[in-house]
């Protein structure tokens, strides 16, 4: 085991956890250089950019999806065994596959917060258990877009997905009336620290009020054996996946197993 049991217990209880120094400073510098290359390369064709400058989604997130298929150094980190092994230990899965990576930049200027949401409702998976690693390239705090999590909300189950541009208030949902939003935990991070969060955990990120992009790589992992639910998704559409069958193959690579 590479993680202390206390970290696994914290994740299981709270639905998120902070992990320090999984990547070395040299690795982080290499990743930081590569993510800049991917994000600043207007010719990159494979890594899908979800919105262009000026768009409403772009004000929340300037995002490129599946950078690992575009850039060898991104692949080195999106398929990194240390990160996937941590995801396996936290989730208790017997193997971990990558669903997709995404570079998540919050641009300076007219920046909007990432509203309170769960991730899992967006993902075309039957079984819950998927989780994200959220890896900033630099220090993050309330000023430039650090995250907040509501402990224990991973136990709420799958709720209606939130529109990230015109968000509903997740705390106003009838089933969430027992949740006190003041229990949310703000998680500023220093370079070298990262978080993992369960796809069901309520989370939020502050707007970026700094003068520089907030640069993050997020990796979405799921337990081996998770089945495709057949719903449309930008990552799975047109890939010939069969509903109710487990995800498999090189597009959703098995990175680590017990
Ligand atoms: O980086 C952000 O602003 C939000 C990230 C997020 O929602 C996620 O990684 O699930």
Instruction: Kindly report, residue by residue over 144-186, the tens digit of the pLDDT.
Output: 999 999 999 999 999 999 999 999 999 999 999 999 999 999 9
Q: How far apart are CA 156 and CA 161, in angstroms?
A: 13
Which pairs with CB-CB distance under 8 Å and at least 24 residues apart come from 91-95? 91/129, 91/131, 91/198, 91/221, 91/223, 92/8, 92/12, 93/129, 93/222, 93/223, 93/224, 94/223, 94/224, 94/225, 94/257, 94/258, 95/223, 95/224, 95/225, 95/254, 95/256, 95/257, 95/258
pLDDT tens digits for range 98-133: 999 999 999 999 999 999 999 999 999 999 999 999
For the chain, domain boundaries: 5-247
Ligand 1: which atom is nearest the Cα of residue 104? 1
Of the candidates 213, 166, 205, 207, the one whose C-alpha atom is nearest the C-alpha of residue 187 is 205
Averaged pLDDT score across all residues of the chain: 96
Q: Is 132 in the pocket of ligand 1 (CB under 6 A)?
A: yes
Using CA positions, which residue lies closest to atom 2 of ligand 1? 205
Ligand 1: which atom is nearest the Cα of residue 216? 1
Ligand 1: which atom is nearest the Cα of residue 61? 3
Question: Among 48-52, 67-71, 197-201, whose mean pLDDT is lowest?
Answer: 48-52
Q: Is 123 in the pocket of ligand 1 (CB under 6 A)?
A: no
Q: Is 96 in the pocket of ligand 1 (CB under 6 A)?
A: no
| pTM, 2 dp | 0.97
Domain 5-247 has CATH 2.60.120.620: yes
Question: What 3-state class would DSSP assign to 54?
Answer: coil
Locate tokens 């920046």: which residue? Answer: 111
pLDDT tens digits for range 237-258: 999 999 999 999 999 999 999 9
> How much distance in Å is there from the Cα of 195 to the middle of ligand 1?
11
């Amino acid at each position: 085991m590479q993680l202390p049991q206390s970290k696994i217990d914290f994740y299981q209880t709270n639905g998120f956890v902070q992990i320090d120094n999984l990547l070395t400073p040299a690795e982080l510098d290499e990743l930081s250089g590569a993510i800049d290359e991917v994000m600043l390369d207007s010719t990159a064709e494979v890594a899908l950019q979800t919105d262009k400058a000026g768009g409403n989604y772009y004000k929340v997130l300037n995002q490129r999806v599946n950078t690992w298929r575009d850039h060898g150094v991104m692949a080195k980190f999106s398929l990194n065994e240390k990160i996937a092994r941590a995801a396996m230990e936290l989730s208790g899965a017997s193997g971990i596959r990558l669903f997709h990576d995404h570079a998540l930049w919050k641009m300076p200027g007219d920046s909007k917060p990432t509203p309170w949401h769960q991730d899992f409702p967006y993902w075309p998976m039957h079984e819950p258990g998927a989780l994200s690693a959220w890896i900033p390239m630099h220090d993050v705090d309330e000023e430039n877009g650090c995250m907040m999590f509501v402990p224990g909300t991973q136990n709420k189950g799958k709720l209606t997905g939130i529109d990230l541009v015109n968000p509903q208030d997740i705390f106003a949902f009838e089933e969430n009336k027992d949740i006190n939003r003041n229990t949310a935990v703000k998680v500023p991070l220093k370079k070298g620290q990262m978080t993992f969060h369960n796809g069901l955990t309520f989370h939020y990120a502050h707007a970026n009020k700094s003068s520089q992009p907030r640069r993050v790589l997020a990796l979405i992992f799921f337990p081996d054996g998770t089945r495709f639910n057949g719903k449309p998704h930008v990552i799975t559409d047109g890939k010939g996946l069969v509903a109710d069958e487990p995800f498999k193959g090189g597009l959703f690579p098995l990175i680590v197993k017990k």
